[in-house]
Structure 1
Amino acid sequence: MQKKLFLFFLTLFFFNSSFAQLSKNQYIKLESALGETSFFNGHLTGFMLYDLDSQLVLYEKNSHQRFIPASTTKLFTLFSSLIVLNDSTQTLRYTTEGKTIKIWGSGDPSWKYKELYQPDFQEFLAPFDQVIFSDANMMSPAFGYGWQWDDYYYNYSAERSSLPIFGNLVQVKKVGNAPRVFPPIFQESVYPTSRTIRELERDFHTNKFYYNPNNFRAREEFIPFIYSPELFVKLASDATGKQWIYQPDSLPTIHKEWRAAPLFPILKEMMLESDNFLAEQLMLMVSDRLFQRLDTERAIEFMLKTYLFDLPDAPQWVDGSGLSRHDLITPRSMVALFEKIYRMMPDQQLFELLPIGGRSGTLENSYQADSPYIFAKTGTMSNNHSLVGLIKGKSGRYYCFAFMNSNYPWKASEVRREMEKVMVMVREMV
């Protein structure tokens, strides 16, 4: 009996070793593909391949180095949202007195944004004649730490706010050779100009918009507007047919909450389309749920000290979206984070959230194959491109990986093309 048990455990040991390691030749191939004579020697590259079953690292290169993660930062936001928000948004905190309701926004980005499930403001506000709105609980500024100032007129850089409407964006359509904007309140602030511009452009300091009738193309469908509480109450009054008044009172200790929308559709949109606005608002909701105030920095600090204290390398994590160049994270911490998400979510839900190579989201046109093999979050910023998620090997088994690139002088498409060659090689190996 002892001999049989010994042989059983010995066989089990060698079986685990066989699927948890690369052969010498496979290792040499990866070293060559990522080494001194490869495309990736011209910039900083980090890579880790991890076996989720054996919990062993199969291969790593520079996995201890810090990289600008760009939108792969959204994996941190996803994890935080799953841990803290559970299954629904944090929409409002409020008090009532007769026919008057006082509300404090909690960061919910849903209201009139994209095709997201809509909180029923009409029904919620039906018993009241007057709405008093306060943003005194909003501690974070409109823009994140380290965001580029000249992104202000691109839709991926919409301002953060406690209760957004329309995603804090103006929608632009072309009618003849002129723009038609929505919400209509902004139409009176649209002016022609002789400047050689091709899109509707917003003034840096004001909500004034300019276009050249001779060159107008309307390819930029959405443009951020400058948020102010005074502008918000006008938009909210028009949207609800109720009188909204701005009054920046502090949130009282005794109040009620309204959690008005399912969380999963927001997470899915954030992950598949890499929506920066949703990511930022999610971190505000996380902060509101934890501290009853909207403070992204404090929410991040809490997550790092509690649920993420055991990552291999302490991340420098400063925003929800990854727009900041101050975000710095190592590949092995990315893998450790992804494993946490992998362990806490049902497989079906996780695969709904991840862009799929050749099929969906930000990977729709990349990593194409008859049978999808890449399921991962992308992150792209000028001179930086990363990919973090799962690869399905020829064996049919899934492995976690992080592939991060910084400081390259080429187009991101060239980097993606070379990365794809490596990932095809990995797929054949495992």
Structure 2
Amino acid sequence: MFGRNKQNIGGLEAKRRRRIWIIVSSVLVLVLVAAASVVAILKPWTEEFRHGGLTIADPPWPVKPVPQVAPAPVTAPAATTNGLTAALAPVVGNPDLGIFAGSVSDGDTGKVLWTMDADKAMIPSSTAKILTTAAGLLALPDDHRLTTKIVAGATPGQIVLVGGGDPTITAQPDGKGYYPDAPKLQDLVAQVKASGQRVDSIVVDNSAYSGPNFAPGWETSDIAGGSIAPMDAVMIDGGRLDPLVEYSPRTPTPALDAGKKLAAELGVDQAKVTLGTAPAGAAQLAAVQSAPLRERMLQAMVHSDNVLAEAIGREVAVASGQEASFTGAVTAMSTVLQAAGFDLAGLKISDNSGLSTEDHIPPRLLNRVLTVAALPANADAQGNSAGGQGNSTADPASDKAGGSPLAPLLDYLPVAGGTGSLANRYVDRDRDGAGWIRAKTGTLSVSSALVGYVLDRDGRVLTFALMSNDRPPEVSRPALDAVANALRNCGCS
């Protein structure tokens, strides 16, 4: 939306400049004619200026910033089930939604207000990242970092690049790769050189991850399509062949390619780069750390980065005592969420990004995670209403003294018409939702979804999970946007 406005402004400026040149020639005559009278007016001022008699006014008072974003009013009337049902009826019956299921709750009380097949297990596509991020917030400190090391090898002249699960390292000459604040390959190179270690060969240790590096339900065509790379424990710019392009084709051998990039920087023959493991107790020669977890979760959510989401899932697995594999990450995520009080009935997933077509999540669960994130401190959940989960005495994952630890999740969601995967939606249609709806998108060839929250016309926070299956995204996404837009326009008290 902002890019479009900028272009429009640029076009107006160009037209304005052309008009100025046209007008100047006709106005110039009038200016010359008026010059004599203008001199008579200016002359006393100019004489006074020459003799130092000009009085300079005091500087203007400083401009004070005025906040433009205000919290939702605590006095906003609550939406009702009848009001929401009436508001949504014209849009939820759209055949473009295909197989549709959804759930809407009050963000202040947690009460479920509207459902449609909310327990139906749906292909979630990238909205599955909500569960991965929630588990990350519950299981890890938000400043957690991953370390990539270089250690001495088993033979003289050999070094080992030891992956620590960080896919964000960049080899860009200026250190500015795809991910903000990413660790730099050049820093590893500089440390190795400073150590005085002779380097003739490089081993890449990928053993921090175990099991297959490609999940069930993934398509190998998505590697060339730029949606995913095989999950190795070390990567350069998420395995992108063009480090600065979001959906650049990815490499099918990320760890080996990282070793070859390191070899190129150290002047080592790339034929002498192999996969292997570091010797026990090897001396460390160099190390770099990832950006904090909170920054990586933000990138994974706003830009729907599948590689980052999978890496975060393994990070949760390691913290939970599980193996860093697809199975371990899914098990850890489920265990963390269940321990926090969430009802996982109907959940069946094979990965942590939602790229797998074998994933199934009921909208009830996704909406409940967002509701708990939105609940204010000391709120009482009323999730039993309308088939919801929860109870009247305790909120899942809630800290009564300070609100939910899931609250940061709300800030990780794209803004309709403004950021990330929602930047180009709510621009040409359903514009009432632009800037008001924040939601995680999900898009596969057979699935589209929106899970997030919105301020309705009465100023009340509504959380929602809207899921469509069996329609192509170019058909279902506009229909989903219309449903969320109806929530924004709802004065449903």
**What is the match of residue 114 of structure 1?**
178
- Partner of residue 405, structure 1: 468
Q: Partner residue of 1:357?
A: 416
1:271 Cα deviation after fit: 1.3
- Give yes or no for the alignment of 1:249 onto 2:305: no
Alignment of 1:88 onto 2:130: no
Alignment match of 2:119 (pick from 45, 64, 70):
64
What is the deviation of 1:70?
0.4
CA distance in 1, matches of 2:76, 2:457: 18
Quote the Cα distance in structure 1 between the aligned partners of 2:246 and 2:481. Answer: 30
Distance in 2 of aligned mates of 1:138 and 1:399: 39
1:288-311 Cα distance to aligned partner (Å, 9 max, x none): 444485313112102212333543
Pairing partner for 1:336 from 362, 368, 380? 368
Partner of 1:276: 306
Equivalent residue number for residue 236 of structure 1: 262
| Distance (whole Å) between structure 2 residues aligned to residue 284 and residue 110 of structure 1 | 15
Deviation of 1:90 (Å):
1.6
> Equivalent residue of 2:453, what SS?
strand
Q: Matches of 2:475 and 2:76 in 1, distance apart?
A: 36
Change (3 A) 1:122 1:230: closer
2:317 aligns with 287
Deviation at 1:373, TM superposition (A): 1.7
Q: CA deviation at 1:140?
A: 3.4
CA distance in 2, matches of 1:100, 1:340: 51
Distance 1:295 1:383 in 2: 26
**Deviation at residue 280 of structure 1 after TM alignment:** 1.9
Alignment of 1:156 with 2:227, yes or no, is yes
Rounded to whole Å, the distance in 2 between the matches of 1:141 and 1:128 is 37
In the superposition, relative to structure 1, how do residues 74 and 425 fare at CA in structure 2: closer, same or farther (>3 Å)?
same
Alpha-carbon distance in 2 for matches of 1:300, 1:292: 10
Contact 2:169 2:290 (8 Å CA) reproduced: no
More strand by share: 1
Q: Give the counterpart letter for 1:66 in structure 2.
A: A
Q: Aligned-pair distance for 1:29?
A: 4.2
Question: For residues 364 and 158 of structure 1, what CA distance do their matches in structure 2 show?
Answer: 24
SS for the counterpart of 1:152 is: helix
Distance 1:33 1:232, change over 3 A: closer
**For 1:306, what is the secondary structure of its paired residue?**
helix
Counterpart code for 2:465 = A
In the alignment, structure 1 residue 429 sits paired with structure 2 residue 460: no
Offset from partner CA, 1:178-232 (integer Å, 9 cap, x none): xxxx89xxxxxxxxxxxxxxxxxxxxxxxxxxxxxxxxxxx99722222065544
Give the equivalent residue in structure 2 for 1:47: 102
1:55-82: CA deviation from partner (whole Å, max 9, x where unpaired): 2111101001011000111112212332
Q: CA deviation at 1:419?
A: 2.6
**Partner Cα distance (1:286, 1:239) in 2:** 32
Asked if 2 retains the 8 angstrom alpha-carbon contact of 1:134 and 1:248, the reply is yes
1:216 equivalent in structure 2: none
Q: Distance in 2 between matches of 1:232 and 1:26?
A: 52
AA partner of residue 234 (structure 1): K
Structure 1: distance between partners of 2:315 and 2:290: 12
Q: 1:149 to 1:95 in 2, by over 3 A?
A: closer
Cα separation, 2, equivalents of 1:32 and 1:370: 17
Quote the Cα distance in structure 1 between the aligned partners of 2:413 and 2:311.
20
The correspondence for 2:425, drawn from 366, 371, 377, is 366
RMSD: 3.6
Q: Report the secondary structure of 2:133's partner residue.
A: helix
Letter in 1 for 2:446: N
CA displacement, residues 61-113 of structure 1 (integer Å, 9 cap, x when unaligned):
10010110001111122123323342133233676699976553121011114
Structure 2 CA distance, aligned partners of 1:252 and 1:350? 39
Aligned length: 364
One-letter amino acid of the structure 2 residue matched with residue 225 of structure 1: T
Cα displacement (A) at 1:169:
2.3
Higher-Rg structure is 2
Identity of aligned residues (%): 23
Give 1:204's aligned residue. none
2:208–2:324 CA contact under 8 A, matched in 1: yes
Please tell me the residue identity of whatever aligns with 2:309.
Answer: A
Shift of 1:399: 1.5
Equivalent position amino acid for 2:188 in 1: F
76 and 99 in structure 1: CA distance in 2 versus 1, 3 angstrom threshold: farther
Equivalent in 249, 253, 264 of residue 294 of structure 2? 264
Per the normalisation by structure 2, the TM-score is: 0.64
Residues 308 and 370 from structure 1, CA distance in 2 versus in 1: closer, same or farther, beyond 3 angstroms?
Answer: closer
Distance in 2 (CA, whole Å) between partners of 1:132 and 1:149 is 26
CA distance in 2 between partners of 1:240 and 1:286 (Å): 34
- C-alpha deviation, 1:331, in angstroms: 0.4
**Displacement, 1:137?**
3.2
Distance change >3 Å, CA 152–CA 315, structure 1 → 2:
same
Q: Is the partner of 1:282 in helix, strand or coil? A: helix
SS at match of 1:403: strand
Q: Name the residue aligned to 2:456.
A: 393
Deviates more, 1:110-119 or 1:315-324: 110-119
2:441 to 375, 378, 403: 378
Asked if 1:168 corresponds to 2:239, the answer is yes
Are the aligned partners of 2:97 and 2:480 in contact in 1 as well (CA < 8 Å)? no
In structure 2, C-alpha distance between the alignment counterparts of 1:245 and 1:94, rounded to whole Å: 14
Q: CA deviation at 1:251?
A: 7.8
TM-aligned CA distance change 1:250 to 1:393, over 3 Å: same
Change (3 A) 1:277 1:229: closer
Q: Could you tell me how far apart the structure 2 residues matched to 1:292 and 1:99 are?
A: 35
Q: Secondary structure at the match of 1:369?
A: helix
* In 1: Cα distance, 2:266 partner to 2:144 partner: 23
Structure 1 residues 251 and 16: CA distance shift in structure 2, 3 A: farther
Please give the secondary structure, in 2, of the residue aligned with 1:224.
coil
Q: TM-score, normalised by structure 1?
A: 0.73
Q: For the residues of structure 2 that align with 1:370 and 1:305, how far apart are their CA atoms?
A: 35
Question: Aligned pair in 2 of structure 1 residues 253, 340: CA closer, same or farther (>3 Å)?
Answer: farther
